[in-house]
Structure 1
Amino acid sequence: MRLKRLELQGFKTFAQRTELVFDSGITAIVGPNGSGKSNLADAVRWVLGEQSYRLLRARRTEDMIFSGSRQRARLGMAQVTLVLDNSDGWLPVDFSEVSITRRAYRSGENEYLLNGSRVRLRDIQDLLGKSGLARRTYTVIGQGLVDQALALRPEERRSLFEEAAGITVHQAKRDEAIRRLEETQANLLRVQDILNEMAPRLRSLERQAKRAEEWKQISADLEAALRVWYGYQWHRAVQTLEQARRSEAEVAAALAERRDELAAVESHIARLRQRQAELRDRLGDWHRESSELHRRAEQVQRQLAVSGERYRMLGLRLEELEQEVAEWQRQVQERAQHVQAAEEDLKEAEAGLEAAVRMAEEARQAAEAEEARRRARQQDLERARAALVRAEAAIEDAHRRIAELEERARSLHQRREEEAARLAEAEEEVARQEGALREAEDALAACERELSVERASLEEARVAVEQARREEQQATASLAEAQRRLEHMQTRWDLLQRLHEEGAGLYAGVRRVLQAARGTRRQLTGVVGTVGELLRVPPELEVAIETALGSRLQDIVVERWDDAEAAIAYLKRTRGGRATFLPLDNLRPSKPVRAPRVPGVLGVAADLVEIEPRLRDVVWLLLGRTIVVRDLQAARRVFAEAGHGVQVVTLEGDIVRPGGSVTGGSREERRGGGMLARERERQELPSQMEEARRAVEQARRHLARRQEARSQAEAEMAARERAVAARSDERTRLLQRVQERQRALDRALQAVEWRRSSVAQFDEQIEQVTAQVAELREVLAGLEADRAARAEEVAKMEAALRVLEESGLVARAAEAQARVAAMEAERRSREEALRQAREEMGQTEAELEARQQRLSALRSEREELARDLAELRRTAEALQAEIDRLAGQIEPAEAEADRLAAEQSAEEEREASLRQQVRWEEDRHHQALLALERAQDAVERLRGEIERDLGLVQLEPGVGAADQPPLPLHPLVESLPVVTTLPEGLERDIRRLRVQLSRLGNVNPNAPAEYAEMLERHAFLSSQLADLKEAASDLRRVIEDLDALMERDFRRTFDQVARRFREHFTRLFGGGTARLELTDPEHFNETGVEIITRLPGRRAQSLALLSGGERALTAAALIFALLETNPPPFCILDEVDAALDEANIHRFRETLKALSERTQFIVITHNRGTVEVADTIYGISMGLDGVSQVLSLSMKEASEVA
């Protein structure tokens, strides 16, 4: 493959379409600086997909597009096409010729075309990547790469050899394989963790699924029985509710009729009030308008007075101005007379000036003729004097040069002696620098040993820091856990406190009473609290006491009967519901029962709970005849012994009523426990939170100690890091000192050579100066004889010139010219006087005109003021007429307002009578509503039971039932059957099914579906785990294979490049040796490439000590070795020979010629020696319009024509 053609249009300085055709061999591109040569190399980089604007010498896409000039507008698009000959199939496409095009627009958009078809940048990179062309750093080689090849660190220089070995593709595959392996390992761990977590959950779900199936069957049977039971109860309650609704509707209709009558009267009153308001508004507007008219009339009268006074003052001012105008007219006449006199004086001065000018002209002509003769003689004299001066200067110059040469000879002798002394000193300096270099190298070795010890100490400190940080993290986690517990308690207490304040879980009436008693307005007094919040019950007895009390936990304890009566009245007035009250002054507790001495008896409930002493009657009233036992067996024995009138309750909440009925079974576990448990928790939480706060503080102190330990460890590590850094800095300084000593030794050696050559040059210069002094003495004798002859000729010419200068014609011409100057000054004085007179006259006329204009303005103003006075008088008359009109409208309107007020008073008496009737109807309606509310309460209680037993909908975790609105029940109720008679044994079947459900306990209804879903997921993840293990194994094998392949190719290529580098180095330098070494040959992935050189006649030295030309030749040897090892199809060299002189360019171009047999070279150069080896030459120049122009020349065709 080779580069056939490069087409550019709009790219940088190539504004117009430009085509460069390349043949095999070497093509040279020449031109002056700034003509755009290097833009061709940028174009190749750009079209091959380069994305780095730094390499393209630009900052953004717009910099790729021709930016315009004075003669040519800027372009909107840049396009470059690279045409490749692919007849040998280098590129893996079925085309013998491949064209790659890239376009850029000012919007920043880029387009890529392959053989005219639009493709992606990735497609271009993939195509070139398969041939290795896209990743070659040395497809386009500029001066930057030449310098970089030597300036790179050994590890960075390795990339050049990797590209030559062609392993960058393998490296990319290896990186991709490693990335995929890491992802596979992460996925493998994640899947394994998920499977480990799923195993216990899967076993648990299997058990739950079996229980859920059994629970589902029993629930279905229970639901069928309950539907029949609640169908009977529901339809009875609904009938009662419908009857209450009909009664309430009849009363509501009567109430609505009375309210309509009242609304009609209120509407009439409102209309009367509105009419009165409108009439009052009109009266107010008329009164305000009358006041405004009076105010305006007064204002007009004031304006009349002011304008009249102004009219009188203007008359007085007019008289004064007329007198001033007359005075200024007189002054204008006087100024005109002054101007006329000054004009006559000026004419007289101009006549005298003309006569003086004629006389001066005649005298000037006579003097000029005499002056011409004198100047001719003077010029002859000047020429003679100049010749004499030149002769004297030549003599003086000869004397000066002889003196200088003699002085230079003395100086050269002195400097030769000094240089010889410096030569001896330089030889001594060489010896001193050699000793200093040895000392610096010894100090560097000792520093490196100490640095190794300190690095080991630093590693120990880092281990200690890691341990301290882990302990700090553990302490931080402990503190976070303690804070989380405290925050959880605080949140729970806030919730319980809020529920307590809001009365959550209480009946509406109870909640309304507590809010009225405890609110900010204190509408009720004497309220102590509910029974539930006043009792203090041990935790183990909470279920028993709560069951025994039931709804009486919400009974409200008040101080007196009057307080209870006021609270009941408040509930009726606000329709807030119902509540039960326990007035302390009205309680009559029954005689307490004595607990029998039977096994399992815990005691009388009233004795087992605590309350304030003054409230003991409340406890004895509610719990005085309730006995607490352990289980139902004990309850049965107690009830048989204690007899009727005693209530027995077990710890699990089973209860035996005084009549002998027994209630029991499973209880629904409520979130947060019952009312007593919640109240107990609310009271206990403050002490628990205080203990949690102490735990948090202790955790904080522990964390502070861990942080201090971590800080100390970090300080120790920092100190050791500083020691290592200081030792590293010392090593760097010592290394720099070694390098400085080496450079100083090299400089001393160079100084010795230079001093020796200087002594020889001084000897040669002394001989040359001695010969020049002898020649100058011979020339000096001839110059002195010539000077004597010229001095005699000058004396004769000076005598003849003095005779001509004694004539007086020139003096007379000067006197005449002086008279002309005097007359000219007189004329200018007369002109200035005339100018001043005219200026004074103009000022006077301007003053007169200003006074006249002011007089005219005052007259106009006085006439305008007279018209304004007339208009103000007419306005005053109109305002008075309008005031009289308004007075006639106000009086009848005030009479109408009085009549409307009387009619409103009569209607208000009728309104009061109707309101009394409405209140009586409202009382009847309130009684009907109470009856309806009782029926609704019965339905709601039944509805609650239906919800509990048939249509329960679980609330979200953490949300109390009191915070949720009632759930809609219509579909569930409508589906209930209509039952008039209950089947026999239905209640027994319901109890049996409930017992079976309670034995099953809590059941997860979603367990079967969750079990099936998790089982399926477990099988899927198990198969994925096996696949991931197999994939990880395959990727490890791929990485091992790629590592072996890359190491083999790299070592083989390195050996070939090293051998060819030695050959090219010796050829380019005409001797010397160089070699390439691996910095770490045992570790292939980490090794770098070091360059070691020894120039002809010198010792081995650092690359940094090479001159610019030597660095260029060394880099060229390396680049040539890389190109020869893995030759690219074409290569562009951008001024890489700029630093080479004529002596080295010959070897450079011979090497380039040899490599061109396998690689096509395009060389951008200024060097004539490089151009000589080119087969084709392109010349680039910059036109006046800022556009690069191309001229081509084929050397083969040129030689055939010649």
Structure 2
Amino acid sequence: MRLRQLEIKGFKSFANQTVVNFDEDVIGIVGPNGSGKSNIVDAIRWVLGEQKGRELRLDKMSSVIFNGTKKKKAGNLASVSLTFDNDKGLLPTEYGSVTITRMLYRSGDSEYRLNGVQCRLKDITSLLLDTGIGSNSYAIIALGMVDDILADKDNSRRRMFEQAAGVSKYKARKRETLNKLKNTEGDLDRIEDLLHEINNNLVSLEKQAKRARRYLELKEQYKGLSLQLTQVKVSALRADYGKLKSEITTAEDQYRNVDVKIRQLEATLEEERKKHVDKEKLLGERQKKLNELVNELRGLENEKQMLAQRKTFVRRQTEKLQQDIATATGQLTDYTGQIDRMVAQIEEEKAKETERQTSLSAAEEALKEIRSGHESIKGRLEEGLKQQQEEERKIFELEKNRAINGNKVENFRFQIERNAGEMDDRRGEKDSLEASLKELEAEEEKELLALEKLEQAETERREALEEATEAVEALQNEQSKINRGLDARRNEFKLTKSMIDSLEGFPESIRFLSQSKQWKEDPQLLSDLVLVDQDYRVAIENYLEGVLNYYVVADASEAREAIALLSKSQKGKANFFLLDAIPKYQGGVALLPGGTRPATDVVKVDKVFQPLLDHLLHNVLVTDEDKLPEQPAEGLTVLTRSGRFIRRPYSVSGGSVGLFEGKKIGRKKNLEVLEKAIAAAEEQARAIEKDLYKERNKLNELRQRRVDKDIQEKQRELSRLQQKRAALKARVESFTNYFTETEEKNNVLDKQVKEIVKANSLIERDLENASAAVEALREQLAGTDGNYRQLSEQLSAASAAYNEENINFIRQQNLVQTLEQEVTFRRNRLKELADLDSTNKEQLEKLAKESLQFEEQEKLQAKNLEKMYADRTAYQETLNTAESDYFSARTTINAMEDDLRRENRRRQDGQILVNQLKEKFTDIKFKINGLAERLKIEFNIGLEELGQMEIEEWVGAVGDLEMKVDRLRGRIGNYGEINPMAVEAYDEMKERHDTITKQRDDIVSAKETLIKTIKEIEETATVQFLKAFEQVRTYFIDVFRSLFTEDDNCDLILLDPENPLESKIEIVAKPKGKRPTTISQLSGGEKTLTATALLFALYLLKPAPFCIFDEVDAPLDDANIAKFNKIIKKFSKESQFIIVTHNKLTMEAVDTIYGVYTNEQQGSGVLPVQFTELEGSLMFEAV
């Protein structure tokens, strides 16, 4: 796989489309500083997916787009395409040629393409994975990155080793797997919590579903009886509806007669109002005209002020212009004098320039004459020297080969001895590693047992947690029940207290006397004195309804005071019970009818009011049966408990029970009872809260005792031990492989030593023959060399004289050009000052004319203001007259409105009568509608549907039917809260529980799989990394010694060998004669060669298809440059090299050079020079 082509357009300094072809093995990129050489490297990084602007020397990524020059506008698109030849199938695609393209628009949109097809960055990254190619791979190295590698900035060394070892994909997979494991554990925790919650809800829903089924059965019975009761009531209400309708018709006729008279009055009044509106309109028009005049007057006054401000501005502008004209006149005089002096100086300097030209021509002629003689003798001398040099070169090569072979023999023997020593050292290290491996396996087994114990403890904690949760929920249900009862009592307490304070349902006279401070302090109403059992409140209240509003007073004097106060205040009437006038009770009923008891048994009052109660409830009995009682004996009255019937010997009363019946009697007494009940309920709530607090603390303690983290920590520790075991195992295998490879290497070295000794004997013979030939040539050249040296000295002197004259001539030319430019500048400035002076004078004349116009405008404004002040006075008088007419008409209209109000009161009285009748009429309609609405709300049945339904006719008393309906309603009401959707919700919740349980099992299985996958990834990556590390270490030592000497020492060391995948890698480099403690103590060249040795060691393990060096050779001297170029030539057989350089020796070593240039109009560009196609050679001569 090779790089074939790079296309750049609109990227950084490359405005136009630029194509760089990579046809050779070694390509050089050269050019002056700032021309854009490194931008080519940045373009390759960028197209390969670089996302960090800092790596591309940018503050933001949008800066890669060409930003324009003085003569070329900025671009809107940066595009880079990189083409590969996939001839070896290294890229996982069927295409023989692959082109990667990246584009970025000025709008911020970007796109990637593969062979012209739009794709994602992830697709490109996946394509190049494990190929050694990438925006951050070891194949692209800049000078600054050498320091980063040696300083191990951001773990750059380990990252390069991972790329070369091919474990990057394993680490990426491990990160992805760890993230999945983390998400899986989070999902598992959430599902466990959800299952726990669902289990609790499932138990509750099962109970609710059973209650719901029983509740629905009661509802069905209640529906049948309610429909029968509604049909009976609707029939009775429709009979009353027709009677009221005729009474309403009569009242409406009387109302209409009064309404006709009112309409006649309204017509007359409307006519007067119309006249009044006309007068009002006239008044408004005159007021409007006056306002318009005032606004216009204000506008003129504002214009007057603005004119004064404009005059001030013109005066200040005139003064400034006069000052500018005076300044420009002085500058014109100065520049004219300077120009005259410079013109004279230019003439003088041009004469000197002509003299310098003549001297330069004479020096050039002398130089040509001497150079002609020098060239003649030089040819003869060079021919002899060439032969001598050829022979000396042969001697040099032979001596060099002899020395190299001797050095190789020493190095090979030294290496054999060193390898043997290292093998002895590593055998001991291997034994130590095997012992550590056994200890580690024992520790791993121990940690595994500890993990199993923690998992068992967590299971027991979860079971206890579930039990504690059930206990808390039970207490919470009990607490909710108590709180609902407490809230109901508190609401009843507030309602009752509000009714007592506002005296709701009492006439105005009662509210007046109870709130008045002129009567007794705490007047007592009968309704406030009695306390009736809950079940009999409605019955007692209905019986005592006529006297509940009576005040209970001590004697007649208190009653007289109240009556006098009511009369004086016109507040109506009130009734009073006189305690001193009530006789003592003389006994009850002798023989009670069956199933009855005295009403006084269910009513309680203070002792002082007992005679009054006995008097009011004399011969009154109550029964628990809710049906019409039998006819009682003479003088007895029987009340049913529900209050539906009151039976006397010769009469019966009864009917439906209203919603608020039973709420009026015993309010104050009931308030006291409620207060005690609320206190008892609050005490019970506090006790429940205390128990709940204890259980919650227990629950929280169980939750806090979670050992999930301990389990995870143990799992991580176990994983660390397993990883460490895999690393040790890999190192032991690595040592075994090392021993085998070293023994094979020693055998090869021993064989090479024997071959080199044989070759050296042949070299000695050739060296003697070459030395004799060189000595003969030296004697022939001795005579010719003296004449050549004399002519060379004369040529050097003539050349120096010519160069000095040439420099003087150029300096004189520059002086003349500088003076001419100064004259041109001053002449241009002189013209600008003259134009400015003319413009200022024209502006001054214009401002003078404006001043005259302002004077005329001021006179005209003063005349207009005087006229408008007079008009304002005249309009004000007309407005006063219109106001007088308007208010006179208003008085007449008020008198007519009084007459109309009197007639309206008559009509209102008639309306009240009609409304009262309609209210009764409406009340019946409301009752019918109420029945219909209740029917619709409860059973979703309308009255029309009810009439069409076949309902069994009720034969018995309506009261009995009502009693049955109320009994069922009470049972339904006392049934408590019912969840009508409980059955359906239970089925859904059960299905959801089964589904989530299956999901939990799947997630647990996935978690185990992920843990197993992580373990496998770590073991595979560790073995592969350690194997690659040992190979790179060996290659590094070999390359390092080839760049330095065989006596130099170096090494690569894992600082944390137990955790190799995360370990830092230390570089040890000790050139001969130095013992640096750190890499930073080496010279710049030594650092570069050390980093180069590491890079090429990585290439030996995994060659990259291409390698880019951006001025990496800058710190190297000529000797090290030669080594650098030699190793590049060696590795170019496997990889392409693209070298950005300023070094001439490096330029000589490349196959093709691309010269980068820049110009103001087009930005950067490139020009290719292919050395392999050039014929002949170039000779550079310094004179």
TM bracket, shorter-chain basis: 0.5 to 0.7
Q: Matched residue of 1:1132: which SS?
A: strand
Corresponding residue of 1:790: none
- Once residues 658 and 192 of structure 1 are traced to their aligned partners in structure 2, the CA distance between those partners, rounded to angstroms, is 75
Corresponding residue of 1:64: 64
Q: CA deviation at 1:531?
A: 10
Report if aligned partners of 1:604, 1:628 keep a CA contact under 8 Å in 2.
yes
- Once residues 1041 and 200 of structure 1 are traced to their aligned partners in structure 2, the CA distance between those partners, rounded to angstroms, is 40
1:1018 to 985, 990, 993: 993
1:922 to 903, 908, 919: 908
- Once residues 1171 and 923 of structure 2 are traced to their aligned partners in structure 1, the CA distance between those partners, rounded to angstroms, is 116
Corresponding residue of 2:1008: 1033
**1:1014 partner letter:** M
Q: CA deviation at 1:64?
A: 1.3
Q: Matched residue of 2:49: which SS?
A: coil
- Once residues 84 and 1004 of structure 2 are traced to their aligned partners in structure 1, the CA distance between those partners, rounded to angstroms, is 46
**1:1123 partner letter:** Y
Report if aligned partners of 1:208, 1:1003 keep a CA contact under 8 Å in 2.
yes
**1:1007 partner letter:** A
**1:1067 partner letter:** S
Report if aligned partners of 2:280, 2:886 keep a CA contact under 8 Å in 1.
no
**2:88 partner letter:** D
- Once residues 1136 and 540 of structure 2 are traced to their aligned partners in structure 1, the CA distance between those partners, rounded to angstroms, is 103
Closer/same/farther in 2, CA of residues 1020 and 1129 from structure 1, 3 Å limit: same
Q: CA deviation at 1:581?
A: 8.6
2:1018 to 1035, 1043, 1046: 1043
**2:1055 partner letter:** T
1:614-641, CA deviations, whole angstroms, 9 ceiling, x for partnerless residues?
Answer: 9969995999789999x9699999x999
- Once residues 619 and 1103 of structure 1 are traced to their aligned partners in structure 2, the CA distance between those partners, rounded to angstroms, is 116
Corresponding residue of 1:5: 5
Corresponding residue of 1:91: 91
1:249-292, CA deviations, whole angstroms, 9 ceiling, x for partnerless residues?
Answer: 553454255235314313422432552574588699999999x9
Report if aligned partners of 2:132, 2:164 keep a CA contact under 8 Å in 1.
no
1:1155 to 1118, 1123, 1131: 1131
**1:1157 partner letter:** K
Corresponding residue of 1:230: 230
Closer/same/farther in 2, CA of residues 57 and 1025 from structure 1, 3 Å limit: same
Corresponding residue of 1:437: none
Report if aligned partners of 1:218, 1:997 keep a CA contact under 8 Å in 2.
no
Closer/same/farther in 2, CA of residues 503 and 128 from structure 1, 3 Å limit: farther
Q: Matched residue of 1:1121: which SS?
A: helix
**2:1104 partner letter:** P
Alignment of 1:605-754 (within 5 A): 620=613, 645=637
- Once residues 196 and 211 of structure 2 are traced to their aligned partners in structure 1, the CA distance between those partners, rounded to angstroms, is 24
Alignment of 1:400-411 (within 5 A): none
Q: CA deviation at 1:69?
A: 1.7
* Residue 1008 of structure 1 pairs with residue 983 of structure 2: yes
Q: Matched residue of 1:262: which SS?
A: helix
Corresponding residue of 2:1058: 1082
Closer/same/farther in 2, CA of residues 1201 and 931 from structure 1, 3 Å limit: same
Q: CA deviation at 1:151?
A: 2.0
Closer/same/farther in 2, CA of residues 902 and 82 from structure 1, 3 Å limit: closer
Q: Matched residue of 1:95: which SS?
A: coil
Query: Relative to structure 2, which stretch is displaced further, 184-193 or 1162-1171?
Result: 184-193
Q: Matched residue of 2:1122: which SS?
A: helix
Closer/same/farther in 2, CA of residues 210 and 20 from structure 1, 3 Å limit: same
Corresponding residue of 1:75: 75
Corresponding residue of 2:190: 190
**1:1029 partner letter:** V
Corresponding residue of 1:106: 106
Report if aligned partners of 2:1055, 2:1066 keep a CA contact under 8 Å in 1.
yes
**1:1064 partner letter:** V
- Once residues 255 and 675 of structure 1 are traced to their aligned partners in structure 2, the CA distance between those partners, rounded to angstroms, is 44
Corresponding residue of 1:220: 220
Q: Matched residue of 1:1161: which SS?
A: strand
Q: Matched residue of 1:12: which SS?
A: coil
Q: CA deviation at 1:1183?
A: 2.3
Report if aligned partners of 1:212, 1:1003 keep a CA contact under 8 Å in 2.
yes
Cα RMSD (Å) of the superposition? 6.7
Q: CA deviation at 1:128?
A: 2.8
Q: Matched residue of 2:54: which SS?
A: coil
1:734-772, CA deviations, whole angstroms, 9 ceiling, x for partnerless residues?
Answer: xxxxxxxxxxxxxxxxxxxxxxxxxxxxxxxxxxxxxxx
Closer/same/farther in 2, CA of residues 1086 and 908 from structure 1, 3 Å limit: closer
Closer/same/farther in 2, CA of residues 1063 and 193 from structure 1, 3 Å limit: same
Corresponding residue of 1:1137: 1113
Report if aligned partners of 1:77, 1:104 keep a CA contact under 8 Å in 2.
yes
Closer/same/farther in 2, CA of residues 547 and 1152 from structure 1, 3 Å limit: farther
1:422-481, CA deviations, whole angstroms, 9 ceiling, x for partnerless residues?
Answer: xxxxxxxxxxxxxxxxxxxxxxxxxxxxxxxxxxxxxxxxxxxxxxxxxxxxxxxxxxxx
Closer/same/farther in 2, CA of residues 537 and 902 from structure 1, 3 Å limit: closer
Alignment of 1:798-947 (within 5 A): 916=902, 918-937=904-923, 940=926
Report if aligned partners of 1:248, 1:928 keep a CA contact under 8 Å in 2.
yes
Closer/same/farther in 2, CA of residues 1079 and 191 from structure 1, 3 Å limit: same
1:294-341, CA deviations, whole angstroms, 9 ceiling, x for partnerless residues?
Answer: xxxxxxxxxxxxxxxxxxxxxxxxxxxxxxxxxxxxxxxxxxxxxxxx
Alignment of 1:424-439 (within 5 A): none
Closer/same/farther in 2, CA of residues 678 and 149 from structure 1, 3 Å limit: farther
Report if aligned partners of 1:1176, 1:1194 keep a CA contact under 8 Å in 2.
yes
Q: CA deviation at 1:65?
A: 1.9
Q: Matched residue of 1:55: which SS?
A: helix
Closer/same/farther in 2, CA of residues 1094 and 938 from structure 1, 3 Å limit: same
Corresponding residue of 1:18: 18
**2:1128 partner letter:** L
Q: CA deviation at 1:229?
A: 1.8
- Once residues 1019 and 945 of structure 1 are traced to their aligned partners in structure 2, the CA distance between those partners, rounded to angstroms, is 47
Report if aligned partners of 1:606, 1:620 keep a CA contact under 8 Å in 2.
no
Report if aligned partners of 2:599, 2:621 keep a CA contact under 8 Å in 1.
no
Report if aligned partners of 2:165, 2:1025 keep a CA contact under 8 Å in 1.
yes
- Once residues 678 and 1155 of structure 1 are traced to their aligned partners in structure 2, the CA distance between those partners, rounded to angstroms, is 107
Q: CA deviation at 1:1141?
A: 2.1
Corresponding residue of 1:982: 954
Corresponding residue of 2:706: none
Unaligned regions of 5+ residues in structure 1, if any?
294-485, 562-578, 699-859, 888-893, 954-967
* Residue 52 of structure 1 pairs with residue 27 of structure 2: no
Query: Relative to structure 2, which stretch is displaced further, 614-623 or 1183-1192?
Result: 614-623
**1:1045 partner letter:** T
Report if aligned partners of 1:29, 1:1180 keep a CA contact under 8 Å in 2.
yes
Closer/same/farther in 2, CA of residues 1095 and 998 from structure 1, 3 Å limit: farther
Report if aligned partners of 2:102, 2:113 keep a CA contact under 8 Å in 1.
yes
**1:228 partner letter:** Q
- Once residues 915 and 979 of structure 2 are traced to their aligned partners in structure 1, the CA distance between those partners, rounded to angstroms, is 44
* Residue 1172 of structure 1 pairs with residue 1172 of structure 2: no
* Residue 1056 of structure 1 pairs with residue 1042 of structure 2: no
Report if aligned partners of 1:165, 1:1050 keep a CA contact under 8 Å in 2.
yes
TM-score by length of 2: 0.54
**1:126 partner letter:** S
Alignment of 1:404-423 (within 5 A): none
Q: Matched residue of 1:951: which SS?
A: helix
1:340-395, CA deviations, whole angstroms, 9 ceiling, x for partnerless residues?
Answer: xxxxxxxxxxxxxxxxxxxxxxxxxxxxxxxxxxxxxxxxxxxxxxxxxxxxxxxx
Alignment of 1:99-138 (within 5 A): 99-129=99-129, 131=131, 133-134=133-134, 136-138=136-138
1:662-705, CA deviations, whole angstroms, 9 ceiling, x for partnerless residues?
Answer: 9999x99x9xxx9999967996899999999999xx9xxxxxxx
Report if aligned partners of 2:533, 2:602 keep a CA contact under 8 Å in 1.
no
Closer/same/farther in 2, CA of residues 1171 and 247 from structure 1, 3 Å limit: farther
**1:1034 partner letter:** T
1:384-427, CA deviations, whole angstroms, 9 ceiling, x for partnerless residues?
Answer: xxxxxxxxxxxxxxxxxxxxxxxxxxxxxxxxxxxxxxxxxxxx
Report if aligned partners of 2:1110, 2:1141 keep a CA contact under 8 Å in 1.
yes
Corresponding residue of 2:28: 28
Q: CA deviation at 1:1162?
A: 0.8
Q: CA deviation at 1:502?
A: 8.8
TM-score by length of 1: 0.53
Report if aligned partners of 1:212, 1:1007 keep a CA contact under 8 Å in 2.
yes
Report if aligned partners of 1:99, 1:115 keep a CA contact under 8 Å in 2.
yes
Q: Matched residue of 2:159: which SS?
A: helix
**Aligned positions, number:** 792
Closer/same/farther in 2, CA of residues 979 and 160 from structure 1, 3 Å limit: closer
Q: CA deviation at 1:94?
A: 2.2
